Amino acid sequence: MTTRRIFITLAIIVTLAGAASSVSRARSKFTSSSTSLVALVLFDVSRSTGNAAIRREYLNDFEMVLTYVAARGGLVFGDLIDSAPLSRPSLPIRVSFPSPGLLTNPLNNNPQALIAAAMRAAGMLLNLRERKPGTAILDALTLSSNVFANYPGSATKHYLVILSDGIEESPRYRFTNRTLSQAAIKRFITEQRVAQVLPNLSRAAVYFAGAGTTAESSLSSVKAWKIRNFWLTYFNATGAQLSASHYGPSLVRFP
């Protein structure tokens, strides 16, 4: 599937968000910093998550996020985790749910239609098959920090949902027994902070679902525990809130 086709999906969702209004007016929903809730969902489409059952679980988790935000009003963004998140256009999914208390035209306010459109778009994304090996979760987190920075209001809640097996395999870092040692993790975080590339996620509540669920090979419990420790340590360094209960093979609840 080409990037062009993915962004046709984006145009459909933006139009639904505005219905009778123009597309340019609908886009203003995403440039306003006054929204009270922003949720960003990252879909891992790397080879290690290519199993159909894994992708279906990602869709179920995404629907849980959409349903929550639709009931309260806010923005939902969706993006990919692949081998090179920084080298392509970002945020192919963008949905704006109006606050329930606002006086809106019923013809323009159909949360279920928005949810259905977003689910179709996510289904298209999850049909992608990554040709290049690698999973750059860290780069996707850099993009996440940039997204949240556009919504700095103190009353705005930031949610980051990562649907991934959690295995980083990129030029930036590669998970091995050596690199997953506590000393190596601390050294990496220090290097990232000194280089000023450690993302600022200080107001984000993080949910990490799909951890350890990989399609390519079995993951030993020892390595899975080390990967868990890496992400808990890393997100703590970014200022994000990732509790151990929000890290696991599935999204048990949201939020």
| C-alpha distances out from residue 71 to 75, 195, 238, 255, Å | 12, 41, 29, 13
Whether residue 146 is contained in a domain is answered as yes
pLDDT for 16: 45
In this prediction, residues 235-254 reach a mean pLDDT of 96
The half-sphere exposure of 245 on its side-chain side, counting CA atoms within 13 A, is: 4
pLDDT for 6: 45
* 129-176 tens-digit pLDDT: 766 788 999 999 999 999 999 999 888 999 999 999 999 999 999 999
Residue 27 has pLDDT above 70, yes or no: no
| C-alpha distances out from residue 241 to 30, 38, 146, Å | 24, 15, 17
* 99-116 tens-digit pLDDT: 886 655 555 568 999 999
| Range from 17-21, 32-36, 95-99 carrying the lowest mean pLDDT | 17-21
pLDDT band at 215 (very low <50, low <70, confident <90, very high): confident
Whether residue 219 is contained in a domain is answered as yes
More confident residue, 8 or 91: 91
In this prediction, residues 12-29 reach a mean pLDDT of 40
DSSP-based three-state secondary structure for 79: strand
Whether residue 108 is contained in a domain is answered as yes
pLDDT for 88: 83
pLDDT band at 26 (very low <50, low <70, confident <90, very high): very low
The domain containing residue 143 runs over which residues? 3-248
Report d(CA 167, CA 179) in Å as an integer.
Answer: 12
pLDDT for 20: 32
Q: Is 166 left (phi over 0), alpha (psi -120 to 50) or beta?
A: left
Whether residue 255 is contained in a domain is answered as no
pLDDT for 81: 95
**Whole-structure pTM value:** 0.88
Please name the helix (run of DSSP H) or strand (run of DSSP E) that holds residue 21, with its range, or none: none
Q: List strands edge to edge, sheet with 204-209.
A: 93-97, 74-81, 37-44, 157-163, 204-209, 247-248
pLDDT for 4: 38
Residue 221 has pLDDT above 50, yes or no: yes
Task: Tell me how many domains the chain contains.
Answer: 1
CATH number for position 119 = 3.40.50
Whether residue 253 is contained in a domain is answered as no
Q: Is 20 left (phi over 0), alpha (psi -120 to 50) or beta?
A: alpha
Whether residue 254 is contained in a domain is answered as no
